Structure 1
Amino acid sequence: MKLFRLLFLWISGVSMAQTPQSVLLTLPANPWRPELQLTVEVLNDQTFHVTSFPKKTNVARTENLSVVGKMESVSVSKEEDAQFIKLKTPKATAIIDKVLGAVKFEDAEGRVLLAERPRSSESFEADSYSGDSFYRVKQTFEVSQEEAFYGLGQHQNGVMNYNGGRQVTLLQYNTMIGIPFLYSTKNYGILWHNYSITKAGDIRPLLPLSAFQLYSAEGHKGWLTVNYYAKSSADKVIFTRPESEISYLYLSDQDKLPKEVDLSKSLARYEGKIESPYTGLHRLHFNYSGYLKVWIDGELKEDRWRESWNAGSFELDLQMKQGQKVDLKMEWVPDGGQAYLGLQWQAPLPDELQNTFSFSSEAGDSIDYYFIAGSTGDEVIQGYRKLTGKAQILPKWAFGYWQSRERYKTQAELEQVAEEFRKRRIPIDNLVQDWSYWSEHDWGSHDFDLTRFPDPKGMIEKLHQANYKLMISVWPKINERASPYIEFRDKGWLYLRNIYDKRRDWIGPGYTSTFYDPFHEGARRGFWNLMNEKLYQLGMDAWWMDASEPDIHSNLNIAERKSVFQPAIGSSTRYYNAFPLENARGIFEGQRETDPNKRVVILTRSFFAGQQRYSAIAWSGDISSRWHDMKDQISAGVNFSMSGTPYWTMDAGGFLVERKWHKAEGADLEEWRELNARWFQYGAFLPLFRAHGQFPFREPFHIAPAGHPAYESMVYYIKLRYKLLPYLYSLAGDVYHKDGTFLRALGMEYPNDPQILSVNDQFLLGKYLLVNPVTAKGQISRKVVLPAGNEWYDFYNGSKENGGKIIEAAAPYERIPLFVRAGAILPLGPELQYSDEKPADKISLYVYAGADGSFTLYEDEGKNNEYENGKYAMIPMKYDDQSRTLTIGKRIGEYPGMLKQRQFEVIWVDGRNHKPQIIKYKGEETTLKLK
C-alpha cells in the first residue's frame, strides 16, 4: 500500500516545498478540481495558518486588515509517509493529506478536533465586481455532534449554540454584527480570514416559501390565502389575493405589496397549509416589521413587534414529515409608513452534510483561515487575540453606570438630568449626548447648535466638576449642506454615489448625505481632525460611533448598499464587513496621537475581527422594548463575547418603543416599569451597563417614582454595580494582561456537560457569577441550570445548591436569580456615587467554600495608558478548601498613587453564619484560616 501511494504521488505530479514551520503543496488538476496550491504554516505552538487557491490565478490579493500576529520561532516536529505529512507542536498537530490536499487537526493527545473536506472546483468560483476579480470561496469541515459552537459576532436569533445545521449570515447591519470567528467547546477556534459577506454553518441557500407545497385556506394547491382587513374592522375582508412568495425585505420590494390596500390602516392574515418534500427538522426564517403573530397547527409560536423602518428577524424550528400538511397562520399588522415581511426556510440537513460546518464568502483571493488550539477555552481566546490584537483596558469610569436617551435636545435638559441623579444619590459616571445636537442641515459638522446648546465647553466643564464624563454621538455621515462637505468631497474622502442618487435622510425636509471612507488614510486623519477640533478640544471623554455598518440608508438591499459603499482599497464586495474596523482605527489612532496618555473609549454599532485593539465596545443596535428582544440579547451578547471581543452592551430597556407605552397608564404603565426593571437587573452584569432608548425617558426616576418596586430595583442594581467594581475592573485587567473574557457561555467552563451546551438564557460574568435574567412578564421564578462539578451559592442569602441539576429559582419582582460558584473569591468595594469617589481601601472578600479557588485583584491608575508600560498592581489570592485557608499573596507591581495598605474584611460563605475576619494588608503575603 505504501508503495502504491508513493507511485500515485509520483504519477500525479504532486510537488512539495518545506520550511521548518511550513509546508507548501502544489496539487495537480483532476476532473473535480483545478491545479491548487495549499500552504500550511505554524505561526506559534497553538496556531496554524491554512491558505489554498487555484495555482493559475489572476485575482487581486486581499489586503490584511485584521491580523497583526506574526510567525514566532517554534519547534515543529515533522513526520511524513507516503500520503501524509504531520506538523506537530506541543499543543496541536496538523495532518496534511498530500493526495487529497485536505488538512486535519488533532490535539496534543491525538484526538481529532477538526477535519477539512477536500476542496473541489466548487470551492473557488471566479467572480468580479466593480473591476475587482476574486473567487467566491467555501470550505466545509467535519465536526462532532458533542461540541457546541459559539461566536460569529452578534445575531438576533435567540441561539447560543450554532452546531446542528444552523445558518448564520455574517454581515454588518443594524442589530447584527458579523465576526468570522468560531469557538468550539472542544477547545479550538477558527478565524475565517475574509472581509466579505459570509454564510456560516449550513451554507445552502435558503428556500423560498414556494419550495413547500402550498395550500390555500380553501384547500387549493399552489398558494396561501392572504386576507386584508381594516384595523378598525378586523372581521371584514377588504382585499384578498393568493401568495406563494413572501419576500418584502427591502425598500425596493415595497411595490410588490398590494396597491389596493392602505397598509398603514390594515392588517393581513395569511392562512393555509404547507407540505414539505422532506422529513426532518425544518427552520423557518422570518423577517418582519410591525406586529407579527405566527401559529403552527393552531398553536401560537411567536408574537413580535418591530418599528416599521427597522425590520427584525427570528427563526422557528419545525419537525415535518414528507407529505404531511401543517397548518400555517400569520397575522401581520404593519405599523408605519414602511412594511417588511419575509419567509424563507432551511430544509433538513441531508445525510452527507450531517456533522459538518461550512464557511462560504462572496469574495476572496483564497480559502484563508487560522486554526487555534488550546487546552482551555481561555487559551483559545488568547490565541485569537495574539492574532488580531489585545483588547485595551477601558478607563475605570466606563465600568460604572451610563445614562442616555434618544435624545437630550438641549443643554438645559442634559444638565437637569445630571443634577437629578446627584440629588437622588443614584450612582452614575457617564452621560451620553445622542445625535442631532447640531443644526438641522449640518449633520457631519460636529458643531453644536448654539441656540439649544449655548455653551458646550462650559457644559462639559460643569459636568466634569460634578464628576461626570460625557460621551457624544458621532456618525461617519456628512450632509451635502454640512460645513465640511466641500473639503471632504474635493479630497476624495466621500462615497459620492449617494449624493448623485439624491437619496435623502429623514431629518426635516430630508437632506442628501453620504459617508466618509475610513479605508482612505487621508480621510481617517481628516475625520479625526474634525472630531478633535470640534469636540475633543472641548473636553469630550468618549465617542459613540453610530451607524458604523455603514448604514447608508435603512432597508436598502445589499446591491444598493454596495453601489454606494466603494472603499479606497478595493471593491465593496470584497471589504463589505470591514468598515467599522477602519472607522474605529482612525479614531483610536487619532486620539492616541493627539493625547497619548488618555484612554480611548469608542462605542460602536458594528464590529469586526481585530476591532478590540482599538478600545472598541459594541452595543446591540436598535432593538425593541419587548420581552422577546430582551431575551434575544442574552445569546447575542454571549456569542459576541465568545468571538474574542470582550466589551459588549445593549440599550437597557430596549430602543424602539410601541405607541402603547408613549403615554402609558394602568396595566401598560406597570408592564413598562416591570420590563425596565428586569432589563436593568440583566444589564448590571454586562461588561458595560447603560440605559438608552426612545421616549419615554429612560432615567430610573422617569420610569417609576421612588418607592415603586421598579425604581427600588433599578437603583439597587446600579448600586450593586458599583460595589462590584473591584471584581469588574479585575476582569478588565485580565482581559488585557491575560486575554480574558467577561461574558462566558456556560459551555466555555463546562464543555463536557451536555445539558448546558445549548442553554441560551444564562451566562457567566467572569468565572464565578452565574447570571440568570428574567425575560417574561409576570414571572417570579425561572428554571436555572446549575452546572455539574460545583456547588452553587445564592448571591443574596448564601444558601447552597448542588450542581448538575435544574432548579426552579425564586425571581421576585425586585431580583433576578444570581449564583456564585463554590471556590469563588468575590471582592466587593464600598458604596460609591461615581467610580473614583474614594479609594477602595476597604474591600469585602466573600470566600465561597466547597472548592479550591483563586482570584487576582487588579488595579492601576484608571485613566492613563501607563498600564501598557508596567504601571499596575496585582494582588493574588488563593483559597484552599481542605484547610479552609485563604492566602492573600504579596503584591506584584506598583503605580503612582497606589494604595500602600488597605483593609480586607473576609466573609466566609458555607451555608453557616461566620463573623467577618479583618486583614490589614500592607502588600506582604498574609494567611487566614476560617474560625
Structure 2
Amino acid sequence: MKKLNLVFLLFVFFAIGTWAQSFQKTNLGIKAQINSMDVEIQFYGPSTVRILKSPMGKTFEKKSLSVVKEPQTTKFAIKQQGDVVSLKSDKFKVDVNLKSGKISYFTLAGEQLLSEKESGATFTDFNDAGSNTYTINQLFGLDKDEAIYGLGQQQRGKLSLRNTKLNMVQGNTDDYVPFLVSTKGYGLFWDNYSPTVFEDKPESTSFKSDVGDCIDYYFMFGGNIDGSIAGMRDLTGQAPMFPLWTFGYWQSKERYKSQNELVGVVNKYREIGVPLDGIIQDWQYWGNNYLWNAMEFLNSEFPDPKKMVEDIHNQNAHLIISIWSSFGPQTKQFREMEPKGMLLNFGTWPQSGLDSWPPNREYPSGVQPYDPYNPEARDIYWKYLQKGLFSLGIDGWWMDSSEPDHLDFKPSDFDLKTYLGSFRKVRNAFPLMTVGGVAEHQRGASSDKRVFILTRSAFAGQQRCGANTWSGDVNSSWQSLRNQIPAGLNFSMSAIPYWNTDIGGFFAGAYKGGWSEGTKNPSFQELYVRWLQFGAFTPMMRSHGTDIPREIYNFGKKGETIFDAVAKTINLRYSLLPYIYSTSWSVTNSQSTIMRALVMDFNDKNVRDMNNEYMFGKSILVAPVVNAQYTPETVVKSNAETGWDKKGATNENKNAAVTFTQAKSTKVYLPEGTVWYDFWTNEMINGGKEIVKATTIDEIPLYIKSGSIIPFGPKVQFATEKKWDNLEIRVYEGANGEFILYEDENDNYNYEKGVYSTITFKWNDAKKVLTIGERKGSFPGMLTKRKFKIVLIAKNKGTEIDTVSKLVKEVSYSGKKMVVKL
C-alpha cells in the first residue's frame, strides 16, 4: 500500500512538473512546445503581438524585410486556467491552448476578435532549390458577419475580401500586400515573401505560402480600421511627406520621343493657362533595347538633357523620368553586375532587341532584372542613377516594372539564387527592395529634395519609401475604371496611403478605329473625362496611356465642352491643394489615410461592400460616374501582350457626333449618421438613403459631410505660384468639426525637425462659433499676416424644406487665437 502511494505521489509530482514547464515566460511574452511545434508569442507593444511557429527543435534566423520596429518592453499579465494560458496587455488579451496550440484574441471586455482553427498550423516538407524548408499554412476562423479588406491591389471590382481566393504573386496590375483589416477593429500581417494563396471560405480563412522556415504573423488591435493601419505603419514604417508639387496635375504619355516634344508640352500648358506641375518622360530616352535602362540620354533626340531639365524648371514645372529594375546587356550596369552574379536570368520586358511588335525572338534583347536583395547591387544601381540622372536635377523617379515583369514564366525561374536565397523565397518583396534601395540612397545623398517615386508595384512597408504606386497597364474601358475604385481602396487599407491610376486607362487602341485621332472619338472623350474626374480625387492626379495622347489641347480648345470639362476638373484639384496637403500631413503625423472606404468612417452595413464611392480625406464623399451616359459602353479586353498589338485597334467604327450638353443622372448612396451637402448646389440631404443625382459631363457627384471645415486655395498655374494668404474657409453646419491647416517649405525634410506651422480650426455647431487657434510652429517664408474668407453653409431657419444659405465673413489673422461668431 505504501509502495502504491509512493508511485502515485511520484506520478502527481511528475505531472505537476510537466504542467509547470509547459510554457516559459520571456521578456516579450511566452514560449511553448505544443504538438511538435515551437510556439512563441512576442508583444511588440501593447496593441501588437507577433506569433512565431516552427517544427520543434528546428533552428532558423528570420530578419523581416518589412518590419522595422524593434519590440518594446510591454507590461502584460499571465494567467493560466487548465490548458489555456492568457496574456493580457492594457489593450487586448491573447489566449493560447497548450494542448491544441490554438491561439485566440479578445478585447479586454472579453469579445472574441479572431481565433485560429484547431490544429490550424501545418508544415509540409519542401525542397527549395536545394534548401530543406517547408510550405506553411495557417487557418483562422472569422465571424460570419465580419468584413475584411486590404491585401494590396486587386483588379476584381470588389471591395470585400470575404469568399475570395487570391493567388498572391506580384504582377503588372496586381500588387499584393499580405496585410488585412477587419470591421472588428484588428489587423493581421502575414510576414512572408514567397508566393502565397489567401483563401476565405465559410469554414476557414487561410494563408498558405510556398516557402517558410516558420509561420510568422502579427496581430494588432487598433479598435477600428484607422487604428489597425496605424499599428501596421508603426510596425513597418511611417509615410513621409511628399512635396507640394506632387499633388498638382501631371501630364504623361507613352512616350515623348524628343527633348523638344517634352518641353513643348509644358510650354503649351503655360500658353493656354491650364495648370500643370509636372511632366513624365517614359522609356527609350536611352536609345535601343540593348541599352535598356542605361540611365543616360543616349538617344540623339535628347541632345542636351541638362538644358531640357532647366527649361522645364524655368516654367515652374517638375520632371519625373522612367527607370527600370532591369538592364540591357550593353549598359554599364549590366557589365558591372553580371560578373558578380547580381542579375536574374529570366524572361522580362523587352523580349527583343528590336523596337518592333511583335517581338522578334531571333534577336533577343538580353535584358535581365537585377538582384535588389543584394545591398551591393542596390549601391551600383544608385551610383549610375545619381551620376546619369539625379545630377541633372531630375525631380523624381518613375520606377516601372518594379514587380518585375516576368514573361514566359517557368517554375525553375523560382530556383534562381538571390542574395537572400531562392527567388521563390523572396519573390513578392522585390518592389520593396528595389524602391527602398533608391529611396534610402537618395535620402542619404540629399535632404534638400524629398524623395518622390512613382512605382508600379508595392509590398508591405513600402509606405516608408516616399513612393506612390499606380495600378499598372490597365485597359481603357468602363469596367477597368470601375475596378480602380475598390483596387485603390483595398490598397489604401493595406497601410500604404499613396496610390493612383493611368487616367484614361493605358491601352486605348480600341478607340482609334475609324478616327484619325482617338481624342475626337466621343466614346473615349466621355471615358477620359470621367476617369479624370475620379483621378482628381486620388493622391496623385496623373494622365497617361498609349495609343491616344492625353494632353488637354488634343481634346479641343477653350469654349468646347470636353476641353472645358477637363480644365474645370484640373482647376478644382488645384483649389483643393490646401485641403489635400493638410490631409497628407495627417497621414504622416497621425497615420491617417487619404482614399477612405466608406466603412472606415460610417457604421452603416450598406457601405461594407461599396465599390463605387469613397471619402477623399474625412470630409469629401466622391461618387465617380462609372457608366457611360452619352455613348455606348465599349467592351475592351487586353493585356500587356495584346494591348501592344496595334492591329487590334479596329473594333470601333466612327459614329455620329455626340452632344455632351444634356443633363443625365446617377444614383448615389449617402451613409447614415450624418447630414450631407451637395458640393455643387449646397443642397442639404439626410444620410442613410440612396438618391438620384443630376449630372453633367463636367461634374460628378461630390458631397460634404456636415461639420466639415475645408480650405480652398487661389486659382494658380502651378502649386506654389501664390501664397495661401487669402484662403476661403468653408464651414458646413450640422455637427461639430475640426480641421488642421498644415504649411511648410513645400519640399526638403526640415519638417522632420519641426520646421512647419499648423493652424487649428474648430467649429462649435450649437454656438455657431468658429475658433481659429493660435498658430503653432514656424518656417522660413511663413505668412505672418493673412486673411480668411469664412463661408458658412447653413440651413435656412424656419423653412419647411431644407434650403441652404451662405454667410460670408472676412477676418484678418496674425497668428493669435480668434473667435468668429457666425
TM-score using structure 2 length: 0.90
Structure 2 counterpart SS, 1:913? strand
Shift of 1:498: 5.5
Distance (whole Å) between structure 1 residues aligned to residue 497 and residue 535 of structure 2: 15
Matched-pair contact (CA < 8 Å) for 2:586–2:592? yes
Distance (whole Å) between structure 1 residues aligned to residue 142 and residue 51 of structure 2: 18
Distance (whole Å) between structure 2 residues aligned to residue 8 and residue 732 of structure 1: 59
Moved more, 504-513 or 885-894: 504-513
1:626 to 470, 473, 477: 477
Matched-pair contact (CA < 8 Å) for 2:727–2:787? yes
Within a 5 Å distance, the mapping from 1:12-27 to structure 2 comes to 15-27=22-34
Structure 2 counterpart SS, 1:573? helix
Give 1:676's aligned amino acid. Answer: Y
Within a 5 Å distance, the mapping from 1:107-118 to structure 2 comes to 107-118=107-118
1:186 to 171, 181, 184: 184
Shift of 1:9: 8.2
Residues 1:494 and 2:343 are matched in the alignment: yes
Deviations 1:874-911 (A, max 9, x none): 11111111111111111121122211121111111124
Matched-pair contact (CA < 8 Å) for 2:503–2:542? yes
Deviations 1:518-574 (A, max 9, x none): 111111010011011000111110000000111143xx33625425x5321111111
State the partner residue of 2:93.
93
Shift of 1:20: 4.7
Residues 1:157 and 2:49 are matched in the alignment: no
Deviations 1:557-609 (A, max 9, x none): 3625425x532111111101011111011111111122133200011111000
Residues 1:800 and 2:649 are matched in the alignment: no
Give 1:132's aligned amino acid. Answer: S
Assess, with a 3 A threshold, how the Cα gap between structure 1 residues 126 and 918 changes in structure 2: closer, same or farther.
same
Distance (whole Å) between structure 2 residues aligned to residue 79 and residue 24 of structure 1: 14
Shift of 1:503: 6.0
Give 2:159's aligned amino acid. Answer: M
Within a 5 Å distance, the mapping from 1:217-616 to structure 2 comes to 349=201, 353-354=202-203, 356-440=204-288, 441-496=290-345, 504=352, 507-508=355-356, 510-553=364-407, 556-557=408-409, 559=411, 561-563=413-415, 566-616=417-467
Distance (whole Å) between structure 2 residues aligned to residue 506 and residue 41 of structure 1: 55
Shift of 1:397: 0.2
Shift of 1:435: 0.6
Moved more, 146-155 or 686-695: 146-155
Matched-pair contact (CA < 8 Å) for 2:327–2:368? yes
Assess, with a 3 A threshold, how the Cα gap between structure 1 residues 723 and 611 changes in structure 2: closer, same or farther.
same
Residues 1:878 and 2:762 are matched in the alignment: yes
Matched-pair contact (CA < 8 Å) for 1:62–1:364? no
Assess, with a 3 A threshold, how the Cα gap between structure 1 residues 811 and 169 changes in structure 2: closer, same or farther.
farther
State the partner residue of 1:142.
141
Unmatched 5+ residue regions in structure 2? 1-10, 357-362, 631-663, 796-803
Deviations 1:719-749 (A, max 9, x none): 1111100110011111111111101111111
Shift of 1:665: 6.8
Structure 2 counterpart SS, 1:470? strand
Within a 5 Å distance, the mapping from 1:780-819 to structure 2 comes to 780-819=664-703
1:922 to 781, 799, 814: 814
Deviations 1:760-792 (A, max 9, x none): 111111111111111111163222111110011
Structure 2 counterpart SS, 1:447? coil
Give 1:839's aligned amino acid. Answer: K
Deviations 1:152-199 (A, max 9, x none): 000000010112x11122221000001000011111100111111111
User: What is the total number of aligned residue pairs between the two structures?
Assistant: 763
Give 1:100's aligned amino acid. Answer: S
Shift of 1:502: 12
Give 2:40's aligned amino acid. Answer: T
Shift of 1:83: 2.0
State the partner residue of 2:593.
741
Moved more, 14-23 or 569-578: 14-23
Within a 5 Å distance, the mapping from 1:769-848 to structure 2 comes to 769-778=620-629, 780-848=664-732
Distance (whole Å) between structure 2 residues aligned to residue 446 and residue 532 of structure 1: 9
Deviations 1:477-530 (A, max 9, x none): 11112343222212332224559x996466355421101111111110100110
Shift of 1:709: 2.1
Give 1:83's aligned amino acid. Answer: D
Residues 1:84 and 2:80 are matched in the alignment: no
Structure 2 counterpart SS, 1:527? helix
TM-score using structure 1 length: 0.79
Shift of 1:407: 0.3
Matched-pair contact (CA < 8 Å) for 1:102–1:119? yes
Deviations 1:660-681 (A, max 9, x none): 4266279981111111000101
Moved more, 805-814 or 626-635: 805-814
Give 2:315's aligned amino acid. Answer: A
Distance (whole Å) between structure 2 residues aligned to residue 357 and residue 6 of structure 1: 41
Assess, with a 3 A threshold, how the Cα gap between structure 1 residues 815 and 558 changes in structure 2: closer, same or farther.
farther
Give 2:83's aligned amino acid. Answer: Q
Distance (whole Å) between structure 1 residues aligned to residue 176 and residue 684 of structure 2: 40
Assess, with a 3 A threshold, how the Cα gap between structure 1 residues 772 and 502 changes in structure 2: closer, same or farther.
closer
Matched-pair contact (CA < 8 Å) for 2:793–2:807? no
Assess, with a 3 A threshold, how the Cα gap between structure 1 residues 561 and 722 changes in structure 2: closer, same or farther.
farther
Distance (whole Å) between structure 2 residues aligned to residue 374 and residue 713 of structure 1: 42
Residues 1:703 and 2:704 are matched in the alignment: no
Assess, with a 3 A threshold, how the Cα gap between structure 1 residues 498 and 714 changes in structure 2: closer, same or farther.
closer
1:176 to 174, 177, 182: 174
Shift of 1:697: 0.5
Distance (whole Å) between structure 2 residues aligned to residue 463 and residue 360 of structure 1: 49
Identity across the alignment (%): 37
State the partner residue of 2:197.
199
**By percentage of residues, which structure has more strand?**
1
Give 1:142's aligned amino acid. Answer: G
Residues 1:861 and 2:745 are matched in the alignment: yes
Matched-pair contact (CA < 8 Å) for 1:890–1:923? yes
Residues 1:131 and 2:101 are matched in the alignment: no
Matched-pair contact (CA < 8 Å) for 2:199–2:206? yes
Matched-pair contact (CA < 8 Å) for 1:6–1:83? no
State the partner residue of 1:245.
none
Structure 2 counterpart SS, 1:876? strand
State the partner residue of 2:8.
none
Give 2:66's aligned amino acid. Answer: S
Shift of 1:458: 0.2
Matched-pair contact (CA < 8 Å) for 1:14–1:98? no
State the partner residue of 2:799.
none
Structure 2 counterpart SS, 1:589? helix
Distance (whole Å) between structure 2 residues aligned to residue 824 and residue 503 of structure 1: 53
Distance (whole Å) between structure 1 residues aligned to residue 99 and residue 565 of structure 2: 64
Matched-pair contact (CA < 8 Å) for 1:9–1:99? no
Structure 2 counterpart SS, 1:878? strand
Unmatched 5+ residue regions in structure 1? 30-34, 203-348
Matched-pair contact (CA < 8 Å) for 1:662–1:696? no
Distance (whole Å) between structure 2 residues aligned to residue 808 and residue 6 of structure 1: 75
State the partner residue of 2:565.
713
Distance (whole Å) between structure 2 residues aligned to residue 108 and residue 873 of structure 1: 38
Matched-pair contact (CA < 8 Å) for 2:614–2:623? yes
Assess, with a 3 A threshold, how the Cα gap between structure 1 residues 153 and 561 changes in structure 2: closer, same or farther.
farther
Residues 1:905 and 2:789 are matched in the alignment: yes
Shift of 1:377: 2.4
Distance (whole Å) between structure 2 residues aligned to residue 6 and residue 175 of structure 1: 62
Residues 1:67 and 2:86 are matched in the alignment: no
Distance (whole Å) between structure 1 residues aligned to residue 15 and residue 248 of structure 2: 65
